[in-house]
Structure 1
Amino acid sequence: MTSALVTAWQGPRAVAARAEEILAQVPAKAGRTAEEQARVDEALAEARRARGAFLAEHGQAVYDALTGHRTRCLWLDELVFAAAELLDGLVPTRAQMAAESALAQAGKEGREIDQAVFFAGVLSHEQAGTHLMEAQLRPTDRALALLPEYTERGGVDLGPLRVDRVGRATHLTVTNEAALNAEDNELIAAMDVGVDLALLDDLSTVGVLRGGEMTHPRYRGRRVFSAGINLRHLDAGRISYTDFLLRRELGYISKLQRGLLLTDGNGRPVTDGRGEPVQVPRPHWSTRTVQKPWIAAVDTFAIGGGMQLLFAFDRVIAADDAYFSLPAAQEGIIPGVANLRLPRIAGNRLARQVVLSGRRLRATEPEARLICDDVVPPADVDAAVDAAVEELSAPAVVANRMMLNLAEEPPAVLRAYMAEFALHQGLRLYADDVLEKTTKFSGKAAQGDGGGAAAPSGSP
């Protein structure tokens, strides 16, 4: 780290330190007066403004210092906590985040917003942002550890996700039954591992994602694709900005589209945070990634994050009694990368109806054919999946889907979107309207409505 970087940080550091002093002078959030909260809000806003300006000018230098001039790859949590050690006050420390994580969402100070400022600043720089995005495409340590077992047995249980080799396909079955396959921190981590295993499996040529059968009383015995974000977990403060909202988009969903990164720009194996090569098979010399086509099979509904997922798949098969929705505006949270992808897929007008007005699409509606490729009776979904696996196993599919994805969504376009998303999603996570809605929702759940499971409406 250069002395110039340290010197440049001193002014913003003083502003950030002043905000911490004010926080230390007032009671916990729930016990503050309106005047005290206004004083805190003003101080935090000044600190975030100072951090943002610093990163706009020095974000590339900060990232280079953290990664040895982009010779080391760090996961999102590793990067942000390394930044806390590099420059005091730039982002929250592990201790500060641990204290926040013990609180309900409404009781937090919103330190994740400071992480959002950091990631937005890094992603806004071309070299730093590109390297950060590529770093998240590496295989996870857990997937590498499980790969020998999975290769031998053809199946592994990841808790909220089951991974099985079925013929020429790797099937990922979401098994978060009690919450109608709603997304939480644990499911996002499992999906990252499951997608890795599917892409590393030499014995399969296609990936399939489908929801498992439910135990919830309202949908017992029925398959459900996804109920979106788990709003009860959000209200309880158990939805992580870094490990859920960012990791989801830059991790397994990006791997679905762009593949698993196995070599660096010079053809050498990718490295871990210590700079050690990751022990994985090297891909063909012509590419740095291993990619496969992906099929989504939608039973019952794909709500919020579930609908978002469909935009990353090569083939979407839906039961004719299924529906899709993105209740983003109603809940107040940005629906992932849907705002980038849905206008391209379905057109500007329909995208606005779905995102801004919450329009629900039934699989049998003509407009839904812009979202799904095949609509079949529920009893025929299995056969439709098998037929799609056979079709997408053709040798030329991988090269062609790679070129289609490159033309439709160049990495530079995604990076620019993610730089804005990183900041504004962090802000929405702590917006007053979001906190009010999740608190009301949690109250209904406590009275027996079942939360996001019984009344699915989530969207990350």
Structure 2
Amino acid sequence: MGPHTPSTVRALNEICALPLPSRLPEAAHVLDGAAKQLEEALLAGPPPAERTQEERVSAAEAKDAVRTLRHRFLARHTEQVYDELTGAGTRRLRLDRLVGDATLRFPGLLPSRELMDAESTRMQADKEGAEIDQGLFVRAVLGSPRTGRHLIESMLRPTRAGTDLLPEFRRTGTVDLGPVRIERVGRAAHVTMCAPDRLNAEDDAQVAAMETAVDLALLDPGVGVGVVRGGTMTHPRYRGRRVFSAGINLKELHRGGISLVGFLLGRELGYINKIIRGVDPGGGESWRPRTVQKPWVGAVDTFAIGGGAQLLLAFDRLIAGRDAYVSLPAAQEGIVPGAANLRLGRVAGPRVSREVILWGRRVWASEADASHLFDTVVEPDGVDAAVEEAVERLDSPAVVTNRRMLQLAEHPPEPFREYMAEFALQQALRLYSEDVLHKTGRFTTRARADESGGQG
């Protein structure tokens, strides 16, 4: 923070302790002044990794003062800010666009682009933690029933990539999205995660590709059922076998390449929620259901760890090879396992949920408790046939209608909104906690030969 840190902290504490004006423009002006003073000090001084202990303490105090001011501002003005950004709800902004527009329209409400650009070049442990401020903003938006519902519904709109690629997919029946491939086989859209270099551990690029693939499957009228499965691996231990997912890419997290908005919030509000609730193609004021929904099948040939296990909880039919397992090593990694805390207890019961999430238990497909997670457990060479049978039985208009009603009962929108509001901030805080930063570094620097090497 430089030699002027003590005076900067004192000045910020004085500004942030003052009552905020009641009107939005004046309150925004006060917030902008405090945030600019903080960012100027942060950007002018040494980067976080080069600060003395005293400078780190001072920086933390200054950031805390401004966050408290942002919290007070949002407690009063969130809905008005959201209305100005969305034209009183007439514009459907995706989360990344909403955050970007708020950064420009209300300077000081969120970290500036200059600060975020500086953050993007740093290792996770060397960042300022500006995403915590993004988490504050998203928590406030989702915390309001009106703006929260509007944002969640906006995230069900098709992505630009999905809309642009739909004609090609309808014509050819296949699209290669890099880490994800989608292929129409009969009435089924097979979405295959194919990043063998990291055992399908997810990063920002894979999340974006998955949402595009889900959009294509839901928008193509020639598709009746979606199937998600891991591709064939080249890893020595799993060479020639399919792996569903090794979870979040902890190497990428350590490097600073896992984003709060695009990855950790975007995957839950984006493609996973679309699997559950469908895609909204934008039918205007039609009396028909807003979203296009289809049944989904998941198949686990070997394992589904972390984010892979979270994804399983969104499917309508789950198939596993007898030697497969699932795990959610959230306590070991130190982060929150997406919406698994909301969903796992409903299907497996509270005790199993706590054993898996808090205790790190693996559940093997051959165990009795696996009956709560998997519908069909077969020998490893029988997964293909089980998938084909599931597609055939689920491809029915009556299934689609009953599924819609089941999802309304089992995944009601309001608890999801409330959960995601708190998740936005708690996950942001976990990203910059000392234990997570230490663990991701340890996972990255230690060479591992098994499936969790660098992933989780």
The corresponding residue for 1:270 is: none
Give the Cα–Cα distance (whole angstroms) in 1 for the partners of residues 445 and 344 of structure 2: 33
The corresponding residue for 1:455 is: 453
**Aligned partner of 2:446 among 444, 447, 452:** 444
* Structure 1 residue ranges (4+ consecutive) displaced by more than 4 angstroms after TM superposition: none
Give the Cα–Cα distance (whole angstroms) in 1 for the partners of residues 392 and 280 of structure 2: 26
The corresponding residue for 2:17 is: none
Amino acid at match of 1:455: G
Amino acid at match of 1:201: D
Contact 2:310 2:339 in 1 (8 A): yes
Give the Cα–Cα distance (whole angstroms) in 1 for the partners of residues 225 and 453 of structure 2: 33
Q: Kindly state the Cα deviation for residue 209 of structure 1 after the two structures are TM-superposed.
A: 0.1
The corresponding residue for 1:26 is: 45
Matching of residue 163 in structure 1 with residue 182 in structure 2: yes
**Aligned partner of 2:112 among 87, 90, 93:** 93
Give the Cα–Cα distance (whole angstroms) in 1 for the partners of residues 415 and 443 of structure 2: 35
The corresponding residue for 2:360 is: 358
The corresponding residue for 2:18 is: none
* SS of alignment partner, residue 397 of structure 2: coil
- Does the C-alpha gap of structure 1 residues 17 and 98 become closer, same or farther in structure 2, counting only changes over 3 Å? closer
Amino acid at match of 1:6: P
Give the Cα–Cα distance (whole angstroms) in 2 for the partners of residues 346 and 184 of structure 1: 28
* SS of alignment partner, residue 219 of structure 1: coil
Q: Kindly state the Cα deviation for residue 156 of structure 1 after the two structures are TM-superposed.
A: 0.8
The corresponding residue for 1:375 is: 377
* SS of alignment partner, residue 72 of structure 1: coil
Q: Kindly state the Cα deviation for residue 256 of structure 1 after the two structures are TM-superposed.
A: 0.2
Identity %: 56
- 1:411-450 alignment, distance < 5 Å: 411-445=413-447, 449=448
Q: Kindly state the Cα deviation for residue 392 of structure 1 after the two structures are TM-superposed.
A: 0.6
Give the Cα–Cα distance (whole angstroms) in 1 for the partners of residues 71 and 295 of structure 2: 39
**Aligned partner of 1:239 among 258, 275, 290:** 258
Contact 1:178 1:453 in 2 (8 A): no
Give the Cα–Cα distance (whole angstroms) in 2 for the partners of residues 321 and 37 of structure 1: 49
CA deviation vs aligned residue, 1:190-210 (integer Å, no higher than 9, x gap)? 001000000011111000000
Q: Which has the higher contact order (CA 8 A, sep 6+)?
A: 1
The corresponding residue for 1:321 is: 323
The corresponding residue for 2:9 is: none
* C-alpha RMSD of the superposition: 1.6
Structure 2 unmatched runs, 5+:
1-20
Give the Cα–Cα distance (whole angstroms) in 1 for the partners of residues 265 and 232 of structure 2: 28
CA deviation vs aligned residue, 1:156-175 (integer Å, no higher than 9, x gap)? 10000110001110000110
- 1:376-415 alignment, distance < 5 Å: 376-415=378-417
Matching of residue 228 in structure 1 with residue 247 in structure 2: yes
CA deviation vs aligned residue, 1:221-251 (integer Å, no higher than 9, x gap)? 1100000000100000111111100100000
- Does the C-alpha gap of structure 1 residues 93 and 358 become closer, same or farther in structure 2, counting only changes over 3 Å? same
Contact 1:227 1:457 in 2 (8 A): yes
Contact 2:201 2:455 in 1 (8 A): no
The corresponding residue for 1:271 is: none
Contact 1:182 1:453 in 2 (8 A): no
Q: Kindly state the Cα deviation for residue 21 of structure 1 after the two structures are TM-superposed.
A: 4.2
Amino acid at match of 1:70: G
Moved more, 194-203 or 16-25: 16-25
CA deviation vs aligned residue, 1:42-100 (integer Å, no higher than 9, x gap)? 11111112112211221111000001001011121211111111111111222321221
Give the Cα–Cα distance (whole angstroms) in 2 for the partners of residues 443 and 405 of structure 1: 42
Q: Kindly state the Cα deviation for residue 17 of structure 1 after the two structures are TM-superposed.
A: 3.3
Give the Cα–Cα distance (whole angstroms) in 1 for the partners of residues 278 and 60 of structure 2: 42
Contact 1:300 1:323 in 2 (8 A): yes
- 1:247-258 alignment, distance < 5 Å: 247-258=266-277
Matching of residue 108 in structure 1 with residue 108 in structure 2: no
Give the Cα–Cα distance (whole angstroms) in 2 for the partners of residues 185 and 215 of structure 1: 22
The corresponding residue for 1:218 is: 237
Amino acid at match of 1:297: A
The corresponding residue for 2:169 is: 150
State the number of aligned residues. 436
Structure 1 unmatched runs, 5+:
268-284
Q: Kindly state the Cα deviation for residue 397 of structure 1 after the two structures are TM-superposed.
A: 0.8
Normalising by structure 2, what TM-score? Answer: 0.93
Contact 1:303 1:325 in 2 (8 A): yes
- 1:18-97 alignment, distance < 5 Å: 18-24=37-43, 26-97=45-116
Contact 2:251 2:455 in 1 (8 A): no
Matching of residue 7 in structure 1 with residue 26 in structure 2: yes
* SS of alignment partner, residue 122 of structure 1: helix
Give the Cα–Cα distance (whole angstroms) in 2 for the partners of residues 264 and 165 of structure 1: 25
Amino acid at match of 1:170: A
